[in-house]
Amino acid sequence: MTYPQDIQDLGFDPEAVRAKYASERDRRVRREGAEQYIEAAGAFARYGDDDPHARGEDMREPQKEDIEVLVVGGGFSGLMVSAELRKHGIEDVWIVEAGSDFGGTWYWNRYPGAQCDIESYIYLPMLEETGYIPKEKYAYQPEIYAHVQRLAAHFGLRDRVIFRTRVTELRWDEEIVRWRVTTDRGDAFGARFVINATGPADRPKLPGIPGIESFSGKMFHTSRWDYGYTGGDTSGGLRKLADKRVAIIGTGATAIQVVPHVGQAAKQLYVFQRTPSSVDVRGNRPTDPEWAANLNRGWQRERQDNFNAIMNREPVAVDLVQDMWTDLIKYMPRRDAARPFDKQAASWAELADMQKMHEIRARVDTIVTDRFAAEALKPWYPRYCKRPTFHDDYLPTFNRPNVTLIDTSDTRGVERMTPRGVVVDGIEYEVDCIIFATGFEITTGAHRKLPISIVGRGGSTIAERWVPDLSTFHGHSVHGFPNWFFLGGGQNGLSANYTSVLAAQAEHLAYIVKEVRDRGAIAVQPTREAETEWVQTIRALATAAVEAYAACTPGYYNNEGQIGEGKGRALGEVYGPGLNAFNRLLKAWREDGTMKGLQLEMPGITALPRTAAA
């Protein structure tokens, strides 16, 4: 293995960069960690409960019935697992969804400029099955939302869905061998299986800024965009902001897409930044019809696997996606399959990452004319400490005379809010409207992330079981919680292309449910030993990742800088060898056919002790 460039030619001193990374990190870490954020609950409940897109009847009769499978959530994960269950001939599948239509994150997030930063050909699920080819390389929210509807129609999922309803409690009932499911609409289901598909970004969070409740103007979170106030739609045209002074708090992947539209429309825009995102070239373009006409069967899976392999630094013959995510490949040393954690390769990978970030910082200088703003917009951390972003209009927005960047890094965020506006470094910025682009409860603990009370065998709850750390078998089930599964990140394979994570999980869970039924079992759960062993496997393979995240600038990837034993693991809790390797592991598990690690309970035979799970 040779590093493609001589270390002398880097154009920067790695030692100095390392020191700068550490100092930029240290000035941002906050003692309160993830607790700095305000939950969308109590006095702030409206930030999560309000539905600007609500349609249909507000009142309905509660539903009470026994069903086979209940899926909580009608976003991509809920749709995909329901579709897979249908494919396996399991028809009695009901979806309960909080929004008034399918879509999940793409239902709620309709802010101006909302777009998926992953290539549409790999992100939009089941393109081959539905026969759809996206219009552009990077799809905007309306096209993604339309694809959600296409999936629902294609798999006939509209027959059994309950919208505008939140599941409030799941309680395992030993007598009826079912989950008793209750909702905020008074429904009462007895469900044989329950699959949680509530997604990672379903609950918005607010910044813990002193005085937040005192602001007398308009406030909303990006995931509940108020077009009644701003005018326009997801494509922009926010004409009602023409006489408004607006503050956007946060500069993550969402703000990067929002800022150009608000900057164009508002009388004055203040962007309050704590940590700059890395903003790379987007380069969107229409789909080439000739390319689309010549795709071979299996192309989407091949493209997804290829992307995942590149992102995991596995050797590949070709880069099919060729964008600024996979661009890093040109610098990166490949992982040696036999020695995945080779120290030499790791240090070269670090240099490659530094080179990429050096380019990204240099790009800021070529675009942003104000020197102060340009310096503040440069990200000083390894690329994967935060979600990388891609936009061609974000940085130029700071050249507009009506747009001002307010750097809050010295005060570790916005200092306070007043009835009139936002204060940083003692200066009050008076505004009419504050938009929170402050993200979601993605990696906060179960007590904040999962507002559903899940009560398993013997009264044990998931909220208790997952303190301080997650514990699962293959990232989908937990001992003591029979017939309960979930999709999403945590102790399984992860990819920036999140739908390819879900695709494999949906397929796998549908297989398990089908097998349990075909084998005549009434309940299934992982054995305590299998769960313990899996957690140990994950932790042993994740040591390097946890160390890397611990050194990162704070954010939700690293539990706001507090990661490790007893503190929570955030994105350090994934299968180290990568998503493709994890999917191979699941495939081998299915092919083995013994359902190793899962314990099946037959009617009349209690294979499992009916005691509280420890």
Given the rule CB under 6 A, which residues bind ligand NDP?
Answer: 28, 115-118, 201, 207, 209, 249-255, 272, 274-275, 387, 408, 413-414, 437-440, 555-556
Q: Which is nearer to ligand NDP, 254 or 326 (CB)?
A: 254
Q: Which is nearer to ligand NDP, 121 or 556 (CB)?
A: 556
In angstroms, give the least distance from the CB of 322 to ligand NDP: 18
100 three-class SS: coil
State in Å, rounded, how far the first CA of the chain is from the last one.
48
134 and 406 in contact (C-beta within 8 Å)? Answer: no
Q: Which is nearer to ligand NDP, 179 or 325 (CB)?
A: 325
Q: Which is nearer to ligand NDP, 507 or 560 (CB)?
A: 560
Residue 270: count of CB within 10 angstroms of its CB: 23
Q: Which is nearer to ligand NDP, 253 or 431 (CB)?
A: 253
574 and 580 in contact (C-beta within 8 Å)? Answer: no
Separation of alpha carbons 394 and 375, rounded Å: 15
* Cα dihedral 308→314→319→322 (10° resolution): 60
In angstroms, give the least distance from the CB of 286 to ligand NDP: 19
In angstroms, give the least distance from the CB of 498 to ligand NDP: 8
39 three-class SS: strand
Q: Which of 444, 456, 584, 509 is nearest to 78 (CA)?
A: 509
In angstroms, give the least distance from the CB of 557 to ligand NDP: 8
Q: Which is nearer to ligand NDP, 387 or 517 (CB)?
A: 387
Tokens of 216: 């007398």
β-bridge partners, 436: 221, 249
In angstroms, give the least distance from the CB of 544 to ligand NDP: 22
Q: Whats the size of the chain, residue-wise?
A: 614
Q: Which is nearer to ligand NDP, 408 or 505 (CB)?
A: 408
In angstroms, give the least distance from the CB of 437 to ligand NDP: 5
Q: Which is nearer to ligand NDP, 250 or 482 (CB)?
A: 250
Tokens of 199: 């997604």
In angstroms, give the least distance from the CB of 556 to ligand NDP: 5
In angstroms, give the least distance from the CB of 390 to ligand NDP: 8
Q: Which of 490, 506, 496, 480 is nearest to 450 (CA)?
A: 490
Helix (H) or strand (E) holding 454: strand 453-455
199 and 73 in contact (C-beta within 8 Å)? Answer: yes
Burial label, 330 (beta-carbon count in 10 A; 0-12, 13-18, 19+): exposed
Q: Which is nearer to ligand NDP, 223 or 460 (CB)?
A: 223
Alpha helices per DSSP H over 124-203: 127-130, 141-154
Q: Which is nearer to ligand NDP, 30 or 53 (CB)?
A: 30
- The backbone torsions φ and ψ at residue 432, rounded to the nearest 5 degrees and listed phi first, read -95, -25
Separation of alpha carbons 390 and 496, rounded Å: 13
In angstroms, give the least distance from the CB of 241 to ligand NDP: 20
Eight-state DSSP code of residue 18: H
Q: Which of 92, 155, 148, 103 is nearest to 129 (CA)?
A: 155
In angstroms, give the least distance from the CB of 273 to ligand NDP: 7
Q: Which amino acid is at 17?
A: V
In angstroms, give the least distance from the CB of 521 to ligand NDP: 37
Q: Which is nearer to ligand NDP, 173 or 425 (CB)?
A: 425
